[in-house]
Chains A and B, each alone.
Chain A
Amino acid sequence: GAGVSQSPSNKVTEKGKDVELRCDPISGHTALYWYRQSLGQGLEFLIYFQGNSAPDKSGLPSDRFSAERTGGSVSTLTIQRTQQEDSAVYLCASSLENSSPLHFGNGTRLTVT
C-alpha cells in the first residue's frame, strides 16, 4: 500500500510569508508526528497527534508554528511569517498506534529567502 505522503516536496518562500505543509499518513494509522531536520542535524520533534488531538505540542518552536489534523487522517503544519531560520526539511511520520514503529515520508524541504 501507499506510504506516508508529504507535499510539496520542495517549497521556496520569501521571508514573512505563510506556508502550509501537508502530510497524508498511511491509511488506518492513528498516530502522526512532525519533525524538523536542519542541515547536518538530527531530527527535532515538533508535535504529535493521536487521532485528531495533539497531546504533545511541546516541540513547536514558537507561536508562529501550528498544526492540525482532521478526520484522523491528513495533517497540515502551518508556519506563519516565515523566518530564514525556519529553513529545514520537515518530516512527517505515522504509526498504527503510538507503540508501533514509525513510518516516515520523504519530507518537505523548506527554503526561506
Chain B
Amino acid sequence: AQTVTQSQPEMSVQEAETVTLSCTYDTSESDYYLFWYKQPPSRQMILVIRQEAYKQQNATENRFSVNFQKAAKSFSLKISDSQLGDAAMYFCAYRSDYGGSQGNLIFGKGTKLSVKP
C-alpha cells in the first residue's frame, strides 16, 4: 500500500521569505500523480500544485514550485515570497494511476505553516 509522510508537523516563515515543506512517499508503482493541497481555517482543501510522475520537469505555479525526485520518492514544496495568506495546513497527497480507486488521494498528516509579518 502507498504511504505519504510529512515529517514537519509545523513550520514558520517570515513574510517575503522562502520556505520548503518536505514530503516523501512509498510506492511500487511507476505511474502516479502527486499533489500539494492547502487547507485554511475555512476547511476547504485547495489544490496548490500537481505533478505527474512521468514528467521530469518540476511543476510550478506562480510562487509555488516543487522539487520532485522520483528515485528518492521525494516531493517537496517551495513557497517563494511568502505572504500572510499562505498561512494554512499543507497536505501532500499521492494518487495512483491504476486500479479501481485510481482517483483516490492518499494524504500525509500535514504541515502547519505560519507566516510572520
Binding site for B on A (CB under 8 A): 31, 33, 35, 41-43, 45, 48, 55-56, 58, 89, 91, 93, 95, 97-102, 104-107, 109
Contacts and interface: CB of A to CB of B under 8 A. Distances in A.
A104 B44 contact: yes
**Secondary structure dominating the interface of B:** loop
Contacts of B102: 98-99
A69 to B, nearest CB: 14
A92 to B, nearest CB: 10
Contact of B103 (A43, A91, A99, A109): A99
Contact of B109 (A31, A42, A48, A91): A42
B108 A42 contact: yes
A55 B100 contact: yes
Given A104-B44, A104-B45, A42 B110 contact: yes
Contacts of A91: 43, 45
A40 B103 CA distance: 24
A33 B103 contact: yes
B105 A98 contact: no
B110 to A, nearest CB: 5
A89 B39 CA distance: 13
B16 interface: no
A1 B91 CA distance: 26
Contacts of B109: 41-42
A55 B45 CA distance: 24
Interface in B93-115: 97, 100-110
Given A56-B104, A89-B43, 6 more contacts: A35-B107, A45-B106, A58-B101, A97-B103, A101-B47, A104-B46
A33 B43 CA distance: 16
A40 to B, nearest CB: 8
Contacts of A99: 97, 102-103
B42 interface: yes
Given A42-B91, A55-B100, A102 B44 contact: no
Contacts of B101: 45, 48, 55-56, 58
